[in-house]
Structure 1
């Protein structure tokens, strides 16, 4: 799905990943689930591109529903995979604390897990080698992505600001569709390690000038990142 001249989304409102497309190649932000590989190649083919044009994958954090096809790109095409140093072990092994899921409704919860199974979420394909990034890094990738530390959902959660795409990719720092309740609108994401820290981290979005706020789950949001962050912190919208 094309969102803008340099911006594409694959997946759907349950699980999404994004492509930043420039003359220098493609940067992938999050890698969805393993079954999204076909969505990736279909989107690239529509642009007359291939996996060989992908220059890097940036993971907003190390949870399994964001790792998806990252290892396949790394292993088969030599594409480096970037993740915050605090989530590097999570991306390589899945090591993480147990967290409370929070509220849920049967229909949306079953829908999420059924979709994950259809997209081959089990077994998880972890990333054998990652390149660690830190807050403030500007990566030498198409679009010159800027890393914003957003700890809370996980210790190494980040947002990725890409000015050429007029977008900030927020992973699970917030969601616009709760995968366990089906509720739509701006709100905290489930399965968050430290909800208080995640809420405090949303203040980083006030630094960002962009027209798109793009979560890993839920519809793309067109609007000010600062307004989005304020709405989540005051109870959602």
Structure 2
């Protein structure tokens, strides 16, 4: 799905990855599920690009539903994969903290599980090599993406700010559709390691003043980062 001149989405409101398209090439933010490979190829075609134009992949964190085709691109095409060092082991299949009990609704949960299974959610290709990134770093990739530390969902969660696209990619720092309940609108993401820290970290996003807020799950948000952070914080206090 083309969102703007420089932005394309791979996937849908259940699980999504993104392309930043520039004259210099393509940067991929997150890699969805392994079955999104065909969707990636199709979206590149829509953008008038090929896999050869992809210069790098940035993962917002190391959970399996964000790794998708990353190792395939790294291993077969030599495309570098960037992840915060605190999530590198997680992206390689290492242990993750247990999550607290989650609120769920039957139909949204079934929809999420069905989609994940159809898109290869049981066939995770863990990474075997990554390149560390740190808070504040600007990567030499198309769009000059800047890394913003966003710990909370996981220790090494990050956001990615691309000024050229007026966009900030937030991974699971917040969601606009809870995959377990179906509730829409900016809100805390489920399966978060440290919910309080995740909410506090959202303040790190405000200086971007980005219009587009692009989560790993849920519809793209185009009402600005300030409104998204405010709504997420309000939703967190409204939880029982």
TM-score range, shorter chain: over 0.9
**Counterparts of 2:101 and 2:26, CA distance in 1:** 34
Counterpart in 2 of 1:70?
Answer: 70
**Counterparts of 1:5 and 1:57, CA distance in 2:** 19
Counterpart in 2 of 1:46?
Answer: 46
TM-superposed deviation, 1:32: 0.2
8 Å CA contact retained: 2:31, 2:59: yes
Counterpart in 1 of 2:185?
Answer: 185
**Counterparts of 1:203 and 1:42, CA distance in 2:** 35
8 Å CA contact retained: 1:63, 1:94: no
8 Å CA contact retained: 1:154, 1:193: yes
RMSD: 1.1
Greater Cα shift, 116-125 or 61-70: 116-125
Matches within 5 A, 1:1-237: 1-235=1-235
**Counterparts of 1:47 and 1:203, CA distance in 2:** 33
**How many pairs does the alignment contain?**
237
**Counterparts of 1:25 and 1:101, CA distance in 2:** 42
Alpha-carbon displacement from aligned partner over 1:60-119 (angstroms, at most 9, x marks no partner): 000000000000110111100000111010001242111125110011111111111100
8 Å CA contact retained: 1:62, 1:94: no
* Structure 1 runs of 4+ with >3 Å offset: none
Q: TM-score, normalised by structure 1?
A: 0.98
- Partner SS for 1:41: helix
8 Å CA contact retained: 1:203, 1:226: no
**Counterparts of 2:81 and 2:223, CA distance in 1:** 29
8 Å CA contact retained: 1:10, 1:17: yes
8 Å CA contact retained: 2:34, 2:123: no
Q: Any stretches of 5+ residues in structure 1 without a counterpart? A: none
Q: Any stretches of 5+ residues in structure 2 without a counterpart? A: none
**Counterparts of 2:8 and 2:116, CA distance in 1:** 21
Alpha-carbon displacement from aligned partner over 1:99-157 (angstroms, at most 9, x marks no partner): 12511001111111111110011131111100010100000000000000000000000
TM-superposed deviation, 1:46: 2.1
Q: TM-score, normalised by structure 2?
A: 0.96
